Amino acid sequence: MRRTFLSKWLALFLLQSLLLGLILLFPEKARELEAPLEDWRVRLLQPHNQQLDPRIALIDIDDRTLAQEGRWPWSRDRIAVLIETILSRQPALLGIDILFPDHSLGTSGLSHVLNDSRITTSLVWAPSSVPPRGRLPEGTRCTENCASLPRIGSWINNIRVLEGREQAHITPVTDTDGVVRRLFPLVCHPDACVETLALSLMRQLMGSTPEYSLKPPGKLASAEGIIQLSLEPDTSVRIPWYSNSGDIPWVSARAVLNNELPEGFLQGRVLILGSSAVGLHDRISTPVAADFPAMEAHGLLLQGLLNQQTWASHPNGWIISAAVALVTSVLIALILLQQHPLWASFTAVTANGLWWLFLLWQQQQGVFWPQLTLLASSLLTLALLIPWTALDAMRARDILQHQFSHYVAPQVMARIQRQPEQVIGLEPERRLMTVLFADLRNFSAYAADIDPERLAEVLQIIMDRLTRTIHQHGGTVDKYIGDAVMAFWGAPLADADHAGHAIAAAQALCLEMKQIGLEHNLPLELSVGINSGEVVVGEFGSSHRRSYTLIGAPVNLAAHLEAATRQTDTPILVGEGTHRLLPNAHWPERVDLSLSSNTSPTPAWGILPESQVLS
């Protein structure tokens, strides 16, 4: 049993170590598995704001605009008109989420418009396998701990005359499942770095210089410390897919061109010009929608920067969650090893539920913690130990049935199987119990005069009925010793009135034997000895054969009392230990016996089968 217990802990320890080790050694794979759980929580916490953010607006070249102005691409002159109209509304800044990588008619007019100091144009960066187009800007620098920033392999920029004064990248990070959850706020090339659009607009709005440094633990800070941006381990930043400050207003470019906006609506706002039109293919898959306008991702990140509350993973989240998972798994295992699978499952569900509520609360504060470690660890513990403990329970039930089915009544056996933890003597232990010896008088003389086959048949009839009587009074049959039977009360299940039940059984045994004699014309009677005291109960024997029995001086005295009934006129003799446990019984006069086991007289009380000893 001890080896089985240790093997369970060893198997659990090895599997938990493997699981948590894989999570900690392969963080990218762990984050990939964690991402859908985070997405679910993001969708669950989506707010339903009624107010609109007064600081930002998105100018959308939507399907209604295309229906009015014609299919894309527009002429550069028409784009220039749209941008000039937007600038005439006096916005604070305008970020353009549109690329102009090729020469076209009207470029000179658009070039003049894009040279406005309030405008930030865009570029995208790509793997080195894509040929670069255009130049890279060189106005932004990283001054400290910059080695971990992503390096640009290739890029696509506007043609030189359309670059504008400020440039930023608009490339999202697409995870392996095709979902965009992050952006790199700063990407670098050998000479300088490039901000993402939201960061560039925020920096210009704050009037900060385009210099940054990475500060531990995982923060991007502007030179003046005005902007503090929490980063993921790969230096990306999470896009906050909801905001508590209000929804970002969308304005159709058609409404701008047609002068349909309220007076002053765009004044002082930071604007992003882009397109949600399906045909322009500027849509991405996100945690909140499978088809999402890409420019809104930049708007949401800008909103988070303005609120100074962006999303980020806790720097020690995986280590702390692994510790929580380990403690929870140990607790679940301890409950399972006590054969309580329902409580273990309840503990696992409760622990995961409480952790999930903690994650929701922290996520509302912008801090992300892993859910995968606790979920996987608790499921692994249940999956490993529930079948194992179920097999152990079945094996233990079979062992108990094999061990006790010949000793106790079927109803007692059913209780033992339902409550195996209440069995007394699975390991030898001291208990106060009552033991009974019953022997057939005149059996040797009777056996000498009949055939062995008939003798065996008679003996089986007698023992079957005596055993049934013992079971009816809650006793356990220990063994058959020729024509004698030994029984006890108080094990394998506790019996508070073991002494009284034994005396009642002794009287019933004598009456039952008398009835058997009448039915089968047998010249046999029964003599019974009873005694109570502290004994050791359990399995005893050798490595080849063991039996569940009692040992101790009270057992020996009961056997001697049964033999001493030949010295008295009563078939039942009760020892002093039993007499002491029943002070209110109607006892006859005490007799003092001379027993071979004692040098001094032994007190005993002789009772008849018909006497009313117990009240």
DSSP state letters, 208-237: --SEEEEETTTEEEETTS--EEE--TTS-E
| pLDDT value, residue 5 | 52
408 has a pLDDT exceeding 90? no
> In terms of Cα–Cα distance, which of 176, 122, 81 is closest to 295?
122
Mean pLDDT of 440-448: 89
Token pair recorded at residue 573: 């003799």
> In terms of Cα–Cα distance, which of 485, 491, 487 is closest to 504?
487
> In terms of Cα–Cα distance, which of 333, 328, 347 is closest to 386?
333
Q: How confident is the model at residue 32 (pLDDT cuts 50, 70, 90)?
A: confident
Specify the pairing of strand 166-169 against strand 228-230.
Answer: unpaired
Mean pLDDT of 292-304: 93
Mean pLDDT of 2-15: 60
Instruction: Give the phi and the psi of residue 349 in degrees, each rounded to 5.
Output: -65, -40
- What pLDDT digit, counting tens, does each position of 480-492 carry? 898 999 999 998 8
Instruction: Give the phi and the psi of residue 51 in degrees, each rounded to 5.
Output: -85, 160
Q: Helix (H, G, I), strand (E, B), or coil: what is residue 262?
A: coil
Q: Helix (H, G, I), strand (E, B), or coil: what is residue 1?
A: coil
**Residue 456's CB: how many other CB atoms inside 10 A?**
10
Q: What is the C-alpha to C-alpha distance for residues 484 and 363, in angstroms, rounded to an integer? A: 77
525 has a pLDDT exceeding 70? yes
In the chain, the amino acid numbered 137 is: P
The Cα-based distances of 137 to 134, 155, 165, 343 in angstroms read 10, 11, 10, 62
Q: How confident is the model at residue 529 (pLDDT cuts 50, 70, 90)?
A: very high
CB distance 113 to 129 below 8 Å: no
In the chain, the amino acid numbered 363 is: Q
In the chain, the amino acid numbered 274 is: G
Q: How confident is the model at residue 502 (pLDDT cuts 50, 70, 90)?
A: very high
Instruction: Give the phi and the psi of residue 591 in degrees, each rounded to 5.
Output: -120, 145
Token pair recorded at residue 59: 């100018």
Peptide bond before 150: cis, by omega within 30 degrees of 0?
no
Greater confidence (231 vs 416) lies with: 231
| pLDDT value, residue 280 | 74
| pLDDT value, residue 11 | 64
| pLDDT value, residue 2 | 45
Mean pLDDT of 436-446: 92
| pLDDT value, residue 407 | 54
> In terms of Cα–Cα distance, which of 433, 450, 413 is closest to 552?
433
In the chain, the amino acid numbered 504 is: A
513 has a pLDDT exceeding 80? yes
Residue in the structure block whose two tokens are 């309840």 = 346
For residue 566, give the H/E element and its range. none
- What pLDDT digit, counting tens, does each position of 170-188 carry? 999 999 999 999 999 999 9
Q: How confident is the model at residue 269 (pLDDT cuts 50, 70, 90)?
A: very high
| pLDDT value, residue 25 | 76
538 has a pLDDT exceeding 90? no
Of 186-190, 223-227, 390-394, 581-585, the poorest mean pLDDT is in 390-394
**Residue 25's CB: how many other CB atoms inside 10 A?**
9
Q: What is the C-alpha to C-alpha distance for residues 93 and 206, in angstroms, rounded to an integer? A: 11
Q: How confident is the model at residue 101 (pLDDT cuts 50, 70, 90)?
A: confident
| pLDDT value, residue 1 | 44
Q: What is the C-alpha to C-alpha distance for residues 211 and 222, in angstroms, rounded to an integer? A: 6
Greater confidence (329 vs 57) lies with: 57
Token pair recorded at residue 328: 């929870």
Mean pLDDT of 200-206: 95
Looking at the chain, the whole-number percentage of residues with pLDDT higher than 90 is 53
Beta strand residue intervals within 135-282, DSSP E:
141-144, 154-156, 166-169, 172-174, 180-183, 186-188, 193-195, 211-215, 219-222, 228-230, 237-238, 250-252, 270-274
Greater confidence (365 vs 272) lies with: 272
191 has a pLDDT exceeding 90? no
Token pair recorded at residue 47: 């707010």
Instruction: Give the phi and the psi of residue 344 in degrees, each rounded to 5.
Output: -65, -45
Of 8-12, 232-236, 267-271, 469-473, the poorest mean pLDDT is in 8-12
For residue 471, give the H/E element and its range. helix 452-472
To the nearest 10°, report the CA torsion of 216, 221, 223, 225: -100
Q: Is the dihedral of CA 536, 541, 543, 544 positive or negative?
A: negative
Q: Side-chain half-sphere of 326: how many Cα atoms within 13 Å? A: 16
Alpha helices in 308-371 (DSSP H): 317-337, 341-364
Global pTM value: 0.66
> In terms of Cα–Cα distance, which of 233, 174, 235, 164 is closest to 199?
235
> In terms of Cα–Cα distance, which of 154, 247, 140 is closest to 199?
140
- What pLDDT digit, counting tens, does each position of 555-583 carry? 999 999 999 998 898 999 999 999 999 99
Of 3-17, 48-62, 405-419, 431-445, the poorest mean pLDDT is in 405-419
Q: How confident is the model at residue 422 (pLDDT cuts 50, 70, 90)?
A: low
Q: Is the dihedral of CA 284, 290, 291, 295 positive or negative?
A: negative
The mean of the pLDDT values for the chain is: 87
Tally of residues, the chain: 615
Q: Which residues pair with 174 in a beta bridge?
A: 180
Mean pLDDT of 319-338: 85
Instruction: Kindly give, in sequence order, each residue whose CB lies less than 8 Å from that of residue 35, ignoring residues fewer than 6 positions away.
Output: 175, 177, 179, 181
**Residue 448's CB: how many other CB atoms inside 10 A?**
8
Token pair recorded at residue 358: 């903690």
The DSSP call for residue 34 is H
Q: What is the C-alpha to C-alpha distance for residues 141 and 135, in angstroms, rounded to an integer? A: 16
Specify the pairing of strand 270-274 against strand 93-96.
Answer: parallel
- What pLDDT digit, counting tens, does each position of 346-393 carry? 999 999 999 999 999 999 888 999 998 888 888 888 877 676 665 655
Of 222-231, 463-472, 538-547, the poorest mean pLDDT is in 538-547
